[in-house]
């Protein structure tokens, strides 16, 4: 395979007209120039220069290689520039996983706020469905195929999903109900209003705040029927709407279903909500997080 370094030396030598002048331009010794030209002649199987009283002259083979060589070097430089540009683009693109339940609004809102500090930043939306397989795929791909997504930021959730995160807000835990449910017309309710209700609650060991609410309902309210679900998808929302059950939820989640209303509850339970990312986030993720934390 043609050595581009040797080819460049040959072109510089031809332009200089002598090994000595070429050596001066390249800050090497004349013997180093001669070795590279000899190696190139061996590679091509041709004689590239002839020594005359007027200095070095290109042979016919040398002229041919000189012309084509300039094009090859120019193409190589452009290829390197394109590769570097692609690398720069990659370092300025954040791949954000989103679903009907997992909105990217929080991330895009921060993108707008830090735009002047990082104008090259682009957000690439990676859609997924809230099925067990898709959710597992997204979390398995954090740090490789996916950079981040929004979600619950507590240690139990991190351990369950094998990820890390940056909490940006405390989202109050509320109740989602069908618009036909009497609670839908209430501004707020007290915990005792939940007595006798069927309540949808995420399974234990997923989210710390939800585990605390589970204990509270069992110990303080008692007369409730808790229905567990492993992950939040449209079926859970549909059960809430069709069966008239109550869904313990974050307001961030419940935006996904148009037939549900969000009702405030007079309790102090909150969920830390923010951005989920790999345990070992990339430099671009670290940069994004450092900028938004300052906001």
The DSSP string of 147-163 is -EEEEE-SHHHHHHHT-
Tell me the two tokens of residue 144: 């490789």
pLDDT tier, 83 (very low <50, low <70, confident <90, very high otherwise): low
- Which positions ≥6 away from 100 have C-beta within 8 Å? 129, 130, 234, 256
- Residues 15-34, mean pLDDT to the nearest whole number: 88
56, containing H or E segment: strand 55-58
Q: pLDDT digit string (tens) for 246-273?
A: 999 987 776 667 888 999 999 999 999 9
Crossing angle of the two packed helices 105-113 and 283-293, in degrees rounded to 10 = 70
Q: pLDDT digit string (tens) for 181-226?
A: 999 988 889 999 999 999 999 999 999 999 999 999 999 998 999 9
Identify the domain containing residue 35 by its residue range: 4-89
pTM: 0.69
Give me the chain's average pLDDT, please. 89
Residue with the larger pLDDT of the pair 77 and 16: 16
Q: Can you state the percent helix, strand and coil of the chain, rounding each to 5?
A: 45, 25, 30
Q: What is the CATH number of the domain that holds 13?
A: 1.10.10.10
CA distances from 284 to 47, 102, 122 (A): 51, 22, 11
Asked if pLDDT for residue 243 goes beyond 90, the answer is yes
Structural domain ending residue among the three candidates 43, 69, 89? 89
Residues 100 and 189 in one domain: yes
Asked if pLDDT for residue 155 goes beyond 60, the answer is yes
> For residue 295, is it within any domain?
no
- φ, ψ dihedrals at 266, nearest 5°: -80, 65
Of 49, 45, 52, 39, the closest CA to residue 11 belongs to 49
Identify the bridge partners of residue 263 per DSSP, sorted by sequence position: 175
CA distances from 253 to 168, 237, 273 (A): 16, 10, 11
Torsion of CA 180, 182, 183, 186, to 10 degrees: 110
- Provide the number of structural domains found in the chain: 2
Residues 126 and 272 in one domain: yes
Residues 246 and 168 in one domain: yes
Q: Which residue has the tokens 């705040």?
A: 209
Residues 154 and 106 in one domain: yes
Residues 244 and 168 in one domain: yes
Which stretch of 46-55, 101-110, 171-180, 228-237 has the lowest confidence by average pLDDT? 46-55
Structural domain ending residue among the three candidates 89, 106, 125? 89
Residues 126 and 238 in one domain: yes
Of 148, 31, 53, the closest CA to residue 97 belongs to 148
């Amino acid at each position: 395979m043609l050595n581009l370094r040797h080819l460049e030396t040959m072109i510089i030598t031809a332009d200089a007209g002598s090994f000595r002048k070429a050596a001066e331009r390249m800050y090497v010794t004349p013997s180093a120039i001669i070795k590279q030209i000899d190696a190139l002649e061996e590679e091509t199987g041709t004689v590239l220069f002839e020594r005359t009283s007027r200095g070095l002259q290109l042979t016919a083979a040398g002229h041919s290689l000189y012309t084509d060589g300039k094009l090859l070097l120019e193409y190589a430089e452009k290829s390197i520039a394109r590769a570097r540009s692609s690398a720069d683009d990659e370092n300025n693109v954040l791949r954000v996983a989103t679903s009907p339940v997992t909105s990217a609004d929080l991330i895009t809102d921060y993108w707008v706020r830090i735009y002047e500090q990082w104008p090259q930043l682009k957000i690439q939306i990676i859609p997924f469905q809230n099925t067990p397989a898709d959710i597992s795929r997204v979390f398995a791909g954090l740090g490789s195929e996916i950079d981040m997504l929004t979600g619950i930021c507590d240690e139990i959730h991190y351990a369950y999903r094998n990820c890390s995160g940056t909490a940006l807000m405390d989202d109050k835990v509320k109740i989602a109900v069908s618009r036909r449910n009497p609670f839908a017309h209430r501004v707020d309710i007290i915990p005792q209003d939940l007595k006798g209700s069927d309540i949808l609650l995420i399974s234990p060991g997923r989210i710390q705040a939800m585990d605390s609410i589970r204990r509270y309902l069992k110990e303080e309210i008692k007369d409730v029927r808790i229905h567990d679900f492993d992950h939040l998808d449209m079926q859970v929302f549909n059960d809430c709407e069709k069966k008239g059950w109550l869904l313990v939820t974050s307001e961030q989640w419940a935006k996904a279903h148009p037939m549900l209303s969000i009702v405030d509850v007079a309790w102090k339970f909150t969920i830390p909500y923010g951005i989920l990312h790999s345990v070992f986030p990339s430099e671009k993720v670290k940069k994004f997080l450092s900028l938004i934390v300052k906001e």
